[in-house]
Amino acid sequence: MNQRFVLCLGPHGFYRMGFVEWPGRSGGRTVVCVHGLTRNGRDFDVLAEALSADAAVLCPDMPGRGASDWLAEPADYSYPTYFSAMAQLLARYDLTDVDWVGTSMGGLIGMFLAAMPGTPIKRLVLNDVGALIPAEGLKRLASYVGVDARFSDLAALEADLRRIAATFGPLSDAEWHRLAATSAQRQPDGTYAYAYDQRIASAGPQAEPHDIDLWATWDAIKVPTLILRGAQSDILRHEDAVAMTQRGPKARLVEFEGIGHAPALMAPDQIALIRDYLRHG
């Protein structure tokens, strides 16, 4: 894998967006993997390594996360900014056809882009997000997004991560260590914090959110789509996921027991499912 950067233009100036590139075989397809609200592209290390046997894989850090610059204006942490950043990333590689794997926020970005005329997305994988986002799940996210949490060492950050991300599924100690290491940012005073700009909370879920209805966007999508759902998810309800198999692109749905929001996409069965879908549809 290679750490790369692309210069993007936002509403208030230029910024650098970091991304990890996993080179694939020459002439093969490209998969773009986009993370959730407070996460970063390193979440996909295990999946991307597996997919890179068949395809080049690009895993961006959305603005204000991971290796990317923080934006000058908190209000610019918005979907139009993210759409523009993704267009500039695709333009850097002259890509007109890509497959898309998106977790939570990354799935929503993929949904919106897939619904647009002339979309470059040819196959879409949505990880635990969909056409209706219930207020209950948004309220849970709002309880920790943007909290100024500082930790004395990486072990303390990992303990907190295990708490707030317990719904990711039954991960091994090695997997939790990996997630903690790629989630952390060392501070000038030697403490650790999560590697995202806490000001994204101003554009994220509010303390008293309401359901977000995206059915019109869903119905505009024409590309083949796979939905992955944690069976205990509070962001994608079972009944809404089933409805997504009956309208719009009439997606294929797979649910994972014992997991909430959102499957970590590290387990062999999850990886195999995505790899096979992108190979064969």
DSSP 238-275: HHHHHHHTTSTT--EEEEETT--S---S-SHHHHHHHH
List, for residues 186-226, the tens digit of each pLDDT value: 999 999 999 999 999 876 666 578 999 999 999 999 999 99
Q: Of residues 122 and 208, which shows the higher confidence score?
A: 122
Q: Which of 12-16, 23-27, 30-34, 268-272 has the lowest mean pLDDT?
A: 23-27
What pLDDT, on a 0 to 100 scale, did the predictor assign at position 148?
85
> Can you tell me the distance from the alpha carbon of 71 to that of 201, in angstroms, rounded to the nearest whole number?
13
List, for residues 223-257, the tens digit of each pLDDT value: 999 999 999 999 999 999 999 999 999 999 999 99
Round the average pLDDT of the chain to a whole number and report it: 95
| Residue 154, φ and ψ in degrees, nearest 5 | -65, -30
Q: Is 15 in contact with 122 (CB distance < 8 Å)?
A: no
Structural domains of the chain, ranges and CATH numbers in brackets: 2-135+211-280 (3.40.50.1820)
Predicted TM-score (pTM) of this structure: 0.96
Across the range 147-168, mean pLDDT stands at 95
28 — pLDDT class (breaks 50, 70, 90): confident
What pLDDT, on a 0 to 100 scale, did the predictor assign at position 25?
77
DSSP state of 25: S
What pLDDT, on a 0 to 100 scale, did the predictor assign at position 79?
96
